Amino acid sequence: MAEQDKAVADLAEQVEQVVLGEDGKPLSKKALKKLEKEQEKKRRQEERLAREAAERAAREAAEPDVAVGMYGRAPLNMSQTRTDTVWTEVKDLSEAMVGQTVNVQARIQDSRLTGGRMCFLVLREHAATVQALVQADDVAVSRKMVRFADSVPAESIVSVTAEVVRPVETVKSCTVGSVELRVSKLFVTSEVVRQLPFSIEDASRSEEDCEANPALARVALDTRLDGRVVDLRTTPNNAIFKLQHAVCQLFREYLVRQGATEIHSPKIISTASEGGSNVFQITYFKRHAYLAQSPQLYKQACIAADFGKVFEIAPVFRAEDSNTYRHMTEYVGLDLECAFREHYHEVMYMIGEMFVYIFRGLEERWAHELAAVRRQYPSEPLKFDDKPLRLEYKDAVALLRGAGVEIGDFDDLSTPQERLLGELVRKEHGTDFFMLDKFPLAVRPFYTMPDPTDGNYSNSYDFFLRGQEIMSGAQRIHDPALLKERIRAFGIDAAPLEDYIRAFEYACPPHAGGGVGLERVVMFYLGIPNIRLASLFPRDPKRVDP
Amino acid sequence: MAEQDKAVADLAEQVEQVVLGEDGKPLSKKALKKLEKEQEKKRRQEERLAREAAERAAREAAEPDVAVGMYGRAPLNMSQTRTDTVWTEVKDLSEAMVGQTVNVQARIQDSRLTGGRMCFLVLREHAATVQALVQADDVAVSRKMVRFADSVPAESIVSVTAEVVRPVETVKSCTVGSVELRVSKLFVTSEVVRQLPFSIEDASRSEEDCEANPALARVALDTRLDGRVVDLRTTPNNAIFKLQHAVCQLFREYLVRQGATEIHSPKIISTASEGGSNVFQITYFKRHAYLAQSPQLYKQACIAADFGKVFEIAPVFRAEDSNTYRHMTEYVGLDLECAFREHYHEVMYMIGEMFVYIFRGLEERWAHELAAVRRQYPSEPLKFDDKPLRLEYKDAVALLRGAGVEIGDFDDLSTPQERLLGELVRKEHGTDFFMLDKFPLAVRPFYTMPDPTDGNYSNSYDFFLRGQEIMSGAQRIHDPALLKERIRAFGIDAAPLEDYIRAFEYACPPHAGGGVGLERVVMFYLGIPNIRLASLFPRDPKRVDP
């Protein structure tokens, strides 16, 4: 549009412009006049405020600053120097330190300016918070420094020198409430330069709190996961991943004491060996390969190689287009496999004991983290016995039928049936954890050993936690002839399984094992509502970011 | 060919047939006659032998068998029963048990029949071997049972009841030499039904032994790897993977004591984020995704999420078409990342100490396994100091130049240069392990923090073991502005790195870390000649099986 045309168009628009009132109707002449006056008044007021702000800024800039060099933005840490500075962790601050000067590195979780001379900060380091006060005293701390402290965006990291003092009253909103910090130096070491996707406070709130006060912001799951780096900073999330770590550590501790060897089996495999569907395909140089759905065949190969007892903690991949609260396309498998002497119950009971060791260990050694998670996701402590309950599949079917469920002897359990079974078992046996043994052969993988007395059943088991399956396992077929027979019966192509079968042709001890989903154990143990919350950076059919 | 035609052709062949002597010339009539006689004699002899064998078999079959029910093939173990049988491990057999009856499950490593009434077996359970004797006494053990024992294929698994006795002389060829077993029951529980690809003995031999006696069979690397299930049964291989397990355990032990959290980062990633080349592409539902080349970006995200110190043990994938003794397409990464207060040396020295902890732990707690590996792969114990040596890159360049190597100040080290450097450092400082600090900036990844005083260098380091790199690490750039600047300088597309950069825009403490190749540590520590021998089921551009 040429400049002249634009001027004409603007004019036309002006002529047509009619001011509408709040009711949507054109204003009267009188009302119009009143509106103009109000607008003029507002304009003048804004001008005055701007003028005053500029004057204040000039005055403040001119103010003598007693705190020069005691606050500001620190230069980027490129490891310029290594001093002997002693740093105190926020969690370690205590009344015993009152009167001492400490150095602390922490995030500013919150700041509040009071009357221009005082700025209250909440400093957070990992899960610990403490109140800090920057107070102008015209001796060491200036009003400029107070304003600077208040201007630092929340979640920025500061390094602070401060005196530990007794607060007027216990600071209930902080984990360290018996002391506060009187700040004498404050430097920003890493500054937030982008709008946070949500506040730490909003992300830490329980469902109960949200329901009690609908005005409070709720952070949706996808928002959390999109801004996962910030989300993971909340105390409950820090605790969830400490507990995930704890489950792995306890799993290993127990198995290492049993003489098991940790293995690392390949994730890139040549053929979609375990049944075929649900595997991701990779472009592997000039051919295709696949991502392992489990270390099943390899951990068995290790048994055939006389490793005795093996375990592995590693990612497993499932190309399953399931968009549920408990499925992911990549998760962490805790796998184990053990040769036995006579009976697969040697292994099954050992695994049962292992879980008791894990549950007990979480309660005893990670009570602090459990409590932190329960503040956001309330759950009852797990009920379990030292010697875990074993039920047979047919007992489960009877229990369900007793509760009015129609189910065939050899039908697989649906998820709602599993949940109901969990409730029934809890009611009858008072436990949230049990082993369900002797599954129907037809609902288990081809390599499952049939029951020796009734071919409809098998030497296989699932373990349940709060009515949800956390582990599946079995005695495996170690006899190549029977294995081939079962492969034929399943109508599976034996060719890709040639290496697998061969391992047994070289002779292999009888063995049993199982596979545990790490995130499922964490999720059901803690009673958190979605498996994605138990995975650092979850993957599902729709999510591969961040 | 019709039947008649075939008959004609056969006839023609017969007519043309001329018997040739060993010198290739036709035989004389006399010689031909002699040959015919010899052949006739041979035929009759064979007939006689066959007749005698048949008679012997019939006689043996008719022999009264005092050992009926005491030997044979056990029914397939389907966990039929659970008895109170006490099983003794071969390694636990000792002179204190002489006179006792024990039950043992083991493989028959070797068998030797002597005079029809005695069969010597070498029984192997894991790394322990013992001699067992099946001797016909016409009371409890029959000649049939002796012959049966001898007929069991090597590597089959048997369950044996036997008396522990003192051998005539110490059995030097077995690990348990002070006792032997007098077998009264012998059942095959898993039988070898396929020709072994090589013998355990051949696969356990040292290069030195092979050179000393060229008549001995040598098992080529590819043969080993194709028959890996059998190969892994050798005592040195069992020990290599116990030591691999030990490295992981020591790595974790040290880091857990430092307060680090174990993490599990996703292996499926949306973009080829770290530079772009050398990544495997996956078909991910209706799009593409990639396999993570390292947990680099995710472990840093955990630092930005206030995890403080993190580590991960997980597979990493490199689509590199390198067919060398030290490259694989999939290996196990021991990764760690730590926030620090002031200087990346806080982290670097901690990692140095961690390696000393690992090396010391291997020596002290896994001496037995180390010795087992050294029998096949002789190596000197590692020389290292409690406080590991730190050299700067420019010192390394000076050392190399002193040895006549032409190298620019900011050139990267080639593999032969690294080896030479290792030798020079060993000569000068008496250590096989050192930290090389302050690499030229240009040869490091884009996220490496430049040196604060000389922009040609960087705050990065490699750790060397016996002249080979086992870890690469650095202080990372935690400042988004500098990070973007470096990404531009490298000419990398910033778009796929958006999530990564954002983590720092939400503020992040300074941090440093490193990535260790598990198989490399095992390989160089043990001085074994190929990285594939330190991987259970290695993957390279040409191998995805078994």
Q: Which residue has the tokens 């031999």?
A: B205
As for the ipTM of the complex, it is 0.89
**B479 with A76: Cβ contact below 8 A:** yes
Which chain B residues are within 8 Å of A80, Cβ to Cβ?
A: 452
Residue B476 has pLDDT above 90, yes or no: yes
Element (H, E) at B103: strand B101-114
Q: Is B496 exposed, middle or buried (0-12, 13-18, 19+ CB in 10 A)?
A: middle
Whether the Cβ atoms of residue A533 and residue A527 lie closer than 8 Å to each other = no
User: How is residue A523 annotated by DSSP?
Assistant: H
Going from the C-alpha of B202 to that of each of A480, B121, B219, B220, B230, the distances in angstroms are 25, 18, 7, 10, 11
Element (H, E) at A226: helix A221-226
Q: What is the pLDDT of residue A263?
A: 98
User: How is residue B453 annotated by DSSP?
Assistant: S
Whether the Cβ atoms of residue B144 and residue B195 lie closer than 8 Å to each other = no
pLDDT in tens, B194-240: 999 999 999 999 988 888 998 998 999 999 999 999 999 999 999 99
Stronger pLDDT, A496 or A541, i.e. the higher one: A541
For residue A315, give the nearest of A531, A517, A471 by alpha carbon: A517
Q: What is the pLDDT of residue A100?
A: 97
Active-site position among B469, B486, B532, B535 = B469
Q: Please, what is the end-to-end C-alpha distance for chain B in angstroms?
A: 44
User: Above pLDDT 70, what percent of chain A?
Assistant: 95
Residue A207 has pLDDT above 90, yes or no: no
Q: What is the pLDDT of residue B106?
A: 97
Which chain B residues are within 8 Å of A510, Cβ to Cβ?
A: 77, 79, 189-190
Calpha distance A69→A50 (Å, rounded): 30
**A509 with B156: Cβ contact below 8 A:** no
Q: What is the pLDDT of residue A420?
A: 97
* CA angle in degrees (0–180, nearest 5) for B55-B59-B63: 170
Calpha distance B70→A151 (Å, rounded): 88
**B505 with A194: Cβ contact below 8 A:** yes
Q: Is A76 exposed, middle or buried (0-12, 13-18, 19+ CB in 10 A)?
A: middle
**B281 with A282: Cβ contact below 8 A:** yes
Radius of gyration of chain B measured on its C-alpha atoms: 33
pLDDT in tens, B137-165: 988 999 999 999 999 999 999 999 999 99
**B78 with A452: Cβ contact below 8 A:** yes
For residues A101-126, give the mean pLDDT. 95
Mean model confidence pLDDT for chain B:
92
**B506 with A298: Cβ contact below 8 A:** no
Which chain A residues are within 8 Å of B76, Cβ to Cβ?
A: 479, 482
Stronger pLDDT, A390 or A25, i.e. the higher one: A390
Q: Which residue has the tokens 């509106």?
A: A35
Calpha distance B235→B218 (Å, rounded): 17
For residues B427-443, give the mean pLDDT. 97
For residue A493, give the nearest of A260, A336, A263, A274 by alpha carbon: A274
Q: What is the pLDDT of residue A32?
A: 85
* CA angle in degrees (0–180, nearest 5) for B160-B162-B167: 125
Q: What is the pLDDT of residue B317?
A: 96
With DSSP H G I counted as helix, E B as strand and the rest as coil, what are the percentages for chain B, rounded to 5?
A: 40, 25, 40
Radius of gyration of chain A measured on its C-alpha atoms: 33
Q: What is the pLDDT of residue B23?
A: 67
For residues A509-520, give the mean pLDDT. 97
With DSSP H G I counted as helix, E B as strand and the rest as coil, what are the percentages for chain A, rounded to 5?
A: 40, 25, 40
Rounded to the nearest 10°, the torsion over CA B320, B325, B331, B333 is -100
Question: What chain A residue is nearest to B536 in terms of C-alpha separation?
Answer: A265
For B306: left if phi > 0, alpha if psi spans -120 to 50, otherwise beta; the answer is: left
| Beta-bridge mates of residue A336 | A311, A514
For residues B430-448, give the mean pLDDT. 97
Residue B2 has pLDDT above 90, yes or no: no
Distance from CA of B452 to the nearest CA of A (A): 6
Give the pLDDT band (50/70/90) at residue A15: very low
Q: Which residue has the tokens 């999939």?
A: B330
Distance from CA of B287 to the nearest CA of A (A): 10
Identify the structural domains of chain B with CATH numbers, from first to last. 71-76+84-190 (2.40.50.140), 200-231 (no CATH), 235-534 (3.30.930.10)
**B478 with A190: Cβ contact below 8 A:** yes
Calpha distance B17→B6 (Å, rounded): 16
The DSSP secondary structure of A292-353, one letter per residue, reads: -S-SHHHHHHHHHTT--EEEEEEEEE------STT--SEEEEEEEEEE-SS-THHHHHHHHH
For residue A203, give the nearest of A182, A223, A183 by alpha carbon: A223
Element (H, E) at B98: none
Calpha distance A137→A119 (Å, rounded): 12
Q: From the candidates A193, A506, A535, which should be mutated to test the interface with B, based on the most B CB atoms within 10 A?
A: A506
Q: Which residue has the tokens 């034996």?
A: A494
Whether the Cβ atoms of residue A121 and residue A133 lie closer than 8 Å to each other = yes
Give the pLDDT band (50/70/90) at residue A276: low
Calpha distance A70→A20 (Å, rounded): 55
Which amino acid type is present at position A129? T
For residues B298-303, give the mean pLDDT. 97
Distance from CA of B477 to the nearest CA of A (A): 8
Per-residue three-class SS string for B361-404: HHHHHCHHHHHHHHHHCCCCCCCCCCCCEEEEHHHHHHHHHHCC
Q: What is the pLDDT of residue A29?
A: 83
pLDDT in tens, A292-307: 999 999 999 999 999 9
Task: List the strands of the sheet with B281-284, edge to edge.
Answer: A268-269, A287-291, A281-284, B281-284, B287-291, B268-269
Does pTM surpass 0.95?
A: no
Whether the Cβ atoms of residue A512 and residue A476 lie closer than 8 Å to each other = yes
User: Which one of B248, B304, B344 has the shortest CB-CB distance to A229?
Assistant: B304
For residues B366-395, give the mean pLDDT. 95
Calpha distance B25→B27 (Å, rounded): 6
For residues A323-333, give the mean pLDDT. 95
Q: What is the pLDDT of residue A544?
A: 94
3-state secondary structure of A463: strand
**A546 with B228: Cβ contact below 8 A:** no
pLDDT in tens, A157-192: 999 999 999 999 999 999 999 999 999 999 999 999
For residues B435-445, give the mean pLDDT. 97
* CA angle in degrees (0–180, nearest 5) for A488-A492-A494: 80
Stronger pLDDT, B197 or B64, i.e. the higher one: B197
- What are the catalytic residues of A? 318, 320, 326-327, 469, 472, 520
pLDDT in tens, B87-117: 999 999 999 999 999 999 999 999 999 988 9
Residue B4 has pLDDT above 60, yes or no: no
Q: What is the pLDDT of residue B15?
A: 46
Give the pLDDT band (50/70/90) at residue B67: confident
What does DSSP say about strands A176-190 and A71-73: parallel, antiparallel, or unpaired?
A: parallel
Distance from CA of B466 to the nearest CA of A (A): 24
Q: From the candidates B125, B159, B193, B229, which should be mutated to test the interface with A, based on the most A CB atoms within 10 A?
A: B229
